Structure 1
Amino acid sequence: HDSAERVAYASGLLGRQGIHVAPVYDGHIEPVRLADERGAVDVWPIPYLHISTVRHYFPDEQISNYTDALRVAIDACDLRCIDDEGRPVRNVAVAHQFVTAGGVSPERCDSELSLGGMDNVDASVFDAFDYVALGHVHGPQRVGRDAVRYAGSTLKYSLSEWRGQKSAVLVELGEAGVEPSTELVPLVPLHDLRRVRGPLERLISPEVAGASDVSREDYLYAVLTDENPEVDAMARLRNVYPNVMSLEYDNARTRAAGIADDAAPAADSASPLELFCDFYEQQNGSGLTEGQLAAVTEELERIEAL
């Protein structure tokens, strides 16, 4: 994960129980050796890496972006195709980066931040691995080839995920050099996350709330279309749906005020400066002053130069 110091504090204790947590990066990565009837499998736990961290340990390497940083870190790994006894070795990477294929970004939810593509890593840096298990992005999907996959989160953590289906990836490694097979196993949560929309009286009516395909225990985001605010709307909703997470209105008044329902996420092509300016205006109701804009531009240029 991208909080190595926090998640790796008990790695020594957990490792003795067969649970392996990638430590804070110190310039080298140690694999976990497993085996099956086909031979050895080296699982490489690659910590979340920053450009500055890799530069610290490889000062003589040319590292200008995240792809360079990961390539240098992986090139330093002793990936072996044959073990000491002459048996084939398969290599599996477990990584937590924002990985893209040929500049095509994976699908993301609105709770995931990527700085305009600044932190993307091209999938080609993992070509030497038989399988690449990726974290960081919540939606299950392949990246470039079937053997490079985001498993996705096990639960829905954002409203933008409400239509999606969560799953686990079942991977079967074959012989060395043979593409592994993958199967998506659906995960059915005890309480799903749903979005409901309509007038309050209709949403709490028996014909809607009592429908056979509806669980009243689901986590709900409710959008009321009543033209006038309803008295105790949240309390009345929770009387029927105890796990209502959010309530908002979509009517002539809110649309006139510029509150767009289902607003589209920022385009991937937006620059870090554009993303910051949009965020600032949404939070403060006004744009950056000339002085603030100059300060932000200077800071972003400093970060990109790291």
Structure 2
Amino acid sequence: MKILHTSDLHIGKYIGTYDLKEDTEYVLNQVVDTAIRERVEVVLISGDVFDRPNPSEEAIKMYVSFLKKLLDKNIKVIAISGNHDSGIRLSAYKDILGKGYFVEGEFNSPMRKVSLNDEYGPVNFYMLPFFTPFIVKSNLKLEKGLENYDLAMDEIIKRENIDTSQRNIILAHQFVAGFKFGGSEEDFSYSNGDEKNVAGVGIISLDKFQNFDYVALGHIHKPQKISRETIRYSGSLLKYKTSEIDGPDKSVVIIDLKEKGNIEVKLDPIKPLHPFVKIEGLLSELTNTNPNENDYVYLIVDDDKTPIEAKNKLTPYYKRIVDIEFPNDTLQQKMNLDTSLADKRPIDFICEYYREKTNKDLDEENKKLLAEIFIEANKEGGQN
């Protein structure tokens, strides 16, 4: 059985003020083309189908069109919700699309299992949408709370009856031990960019996945393997922030699953419609080049120019300026143009305010509590 693994489609997303509709449609079409070319039988989507829980009608139409292109070629789709999705809304489209589209929008225990057969027997796909410890506690009706995500995953796994003689694949949308941030994940953890300290969101240990032949992960935007070739974050299909520019190119994972224990994995590249590039130089140099006007650009101005002066001179030359940095400007932190506030998470503002008022840092317990609150608010209210 050949399988394509992707995640973090973020349909409906913007970069700054730029609508990524055309860019997203372009890469989704590449996913379809790749699936057809590779003779894929199943496409896995490991969460964050949409960029917000209440997607626009246009975003919904794009997703449904993407699914229909796959289903019309008899390619099955198995999808779970991520922290950006509304599970109820995501599940609604299964009635429109009919057979071949399997979706799990809300956490359930035991996990929903879809079994598909090939010449070697059944392949079991376990669907684990994004969850929090609170969701697990409520669903399982536990008397005591769960302190972290790893303990929550313990409770989930011990209720499963996994036949390890068969081939088993799990879809999940969580932080798993050993990951590296991609730079554009929009979670509400208080991590300060440190993947070893994802306070409030928490990391799930690798041993929880030992009974699975392939682990199809979403949530991290940087494509990467974790420990072994068959535990993977597919990564997002597009680069969304300046911190991703120098990172690895985007791709989807192609899995060639044969008999138990025989599995091959390869990456198939995804090319953007409009590349996201970084250009550095003096203002005179930046206004004396011939850039591709359709690129998304991150400009670094090495002069002692004011941000307003530089922006006024650069705007006519670059159609899609995402951000401009002024390393020599002492006011850089105060005037990071349009994106500095957008890059901050709500929890960052609260922690900074608390520090200003009390002259001390917010303790870890309260950071975790705030992170939980923001995650729930994000799912219910559609707020980034």
- Given candidates 112, 119, 126, the residue that maps to 1:44 is 126
- Pair 1:65-2:137 in alignment: no
- Given candidates 90, 113, 126, the residue that maps to 1:31 is 113
Is the 8 Å Cα contact of residues 67 and 120 (structure 1) preserved in structure 2?
yes
Is the 8 Å Cα contact of residues 184 and 240 (structure 2) preserved in structure 1?
no
TM-score, length of structure 1 as denominator length: 0.75
- Cα deviation, 1:70-100, whole Å, max 9, x if unaligned, reads 1221232332346xxxxxx311101000111
Cα distance in 1 between the residues matched to 2:307 and 2:368: 49
- Using the TM superposition, give the Cα deviation of residue 48 of structure 1 relative to its aligned residue in structure 2, in angstroms: 1.0
| Rg larger for | 1
- Using the TM superposition, give the Cα deviation of residue 137 of structure 1 relative to its aligned residue in structure 2, in angstroms: 0.3
1:158-237 to 2 correspondences below 5 Å: 158-164=241-247, 165-178=249-262, 180-205=263-288, 208-209=289-290, 215-229=292-306, 233-237=310-314
- Cα deviation, 1:195-240, whole Å, max 9, x if unaligned, reads 11112221121xx325xxxx33110111212213377643543333
Cα distance in 2 between the residues matched to 1:33 and 1:229: 61
1:1-306 to 2 correspondences below 5 Å: 1-2=82-83, 3-5=85-87, 7-13=89-95, 16-56=98-138, 57=140, 59=142, 63-81=146-164, 89-100=166-177, 104-109=178-183, 111-113=185-187, 114-115=189-190, 116-118=197-199, 119-164=202-247, 165-178=249-262, 180-205=263-288, 208-209=289-290, 215-229=292-306, 233-251=310-328, 253-254=330-331, 280-281=351-352, 287-290=355-358, 299-300=366-367
The alignment-based identity, stated in percent, is 27
- What is the identity, as a one-letter code, of the residue corresponding to 1:108? G
Cα distance in 1 between the residues matched to 2:117 and 2:111: 19
Cα RMSD for the two superposed structures: 3.5
Please state whether the residue corresponding to 2:169 is helix, strand or coil.
Answer: strand
- The structure-2 alpha-carbon separation of the partners of 1:202 and 1:195, relative to structure 1 and needing over 3 Å to count, comes to same
Return the structure number with greater relative CO, CA threshold 8 A, min gap 6. 2
Q: Which has the larger displacement, 133-142 or 3-12? A: 3-12
Please state whether the residue corresponding to 1:121 is helix, strand or coil.
Answer: coil
Please state whether the residue corresponding to 2:87 is helix, strand or coil.
Answer: helix
Q: Which has the larger displacement, 164-173 or 67-76? A: 67-76
TM-score, length of structure 2 as denominator length: 0.61
Cα distance in 1 between the residues matched to 2:321 and 2:372: 45
- The structure-2 alpha-carbon separation of the partners of 1:297 and 1:31, relative to structure 1 and needing over 3 Å to count, comes to closer
- Using the TM superposition, give the Cα deviation of residue 247 of structure 1 relative to its aligned residue in structure 2, in angstroms: 2.4
Q: Which residue of structure 2 aligns with residue 271 of structure 1?
A: none
- The structure-2 alpha-carbon separation of the partners of 1:250 and 1:26, relative to structure 1 and needing over 3 Å to count, comes to same
- The structure-2 alpha-carbon separation of the partners of 1:72 and 1:254, relative to structure 1 and needing over 3 Å to count, comes to same
Cα distance in 2 between the residues matched to 1:202 and 1:291: 44
Is the 8 Å Cα contact of residues 111 and 158 (structure 1) preserved in structure 2?
no
Please state whether the residue corresponding to 1:31 is helix, strand or coil.
Answer: strand
Is the 8 Å Cα contact of residues 115 and 123 (structure 2) preserved in structure 1?
yes
- Using the TM superposition, give the Cα deviation of residue 30 of structure 1 relative to its aligned residue in structure 2, in angstroms: 1.5
Cα distance in 2 between the residues matched to 1:301 and 1:41: 37
Q: Which has the larger displacement, 195-204 or 7-16? A: 7-16
- Cα deviation, 1:234-257, whole Å, max 9, x if unaligned, reads 354333321112223222544798
Cα distance in 2 between the residues matched to 1:153 and 1:287: 34
Cα distance in 1 between the residues matched to 2:111 and 2:275: 38
Is the 8 Å Cα contact of residues 108 and 138 (structure 1) preserved in structure 2?
yes
